[in-house]
Amino acid sequence: MLALRLICPAGLTPGLVEVLRNQPGATHLVHLPGAALEPPGDVLLADLARSAVSEIVDALRAVSRGG
């Protein structure tokens, strides 16, 4: 397992959470609204199975780019 930590603008959070919830390789999802101070935003934490990391990161990038 690899630990993932994201700091994201609140507007992106729902899409990122949806990606993580729909990935069988992502577990132990934590959402801390408004927890990040610099840069300000939400904090998302998850554990990722090594075999799923590339697929999950690609899906998260697509959300952050508006795709």
Given this model, what pLDDT does residue 18 score? 97
pLDDT(6) > 70: yes
pLDDT tens, position by position, 17-59: 999 999 999 999 999 999 999 999 999 999 999 999 999 999 9
Instruction: Give this prediction's pTM.
Output: 0.91
Its sign, for the CA torsion 13, 15, 18, 24, is negative
Given this model, what pLDDT does residue 7 score? 97
Residue 9 preceded by cis peptide, ω within 30:
no
pLDDT(67) > 80: no
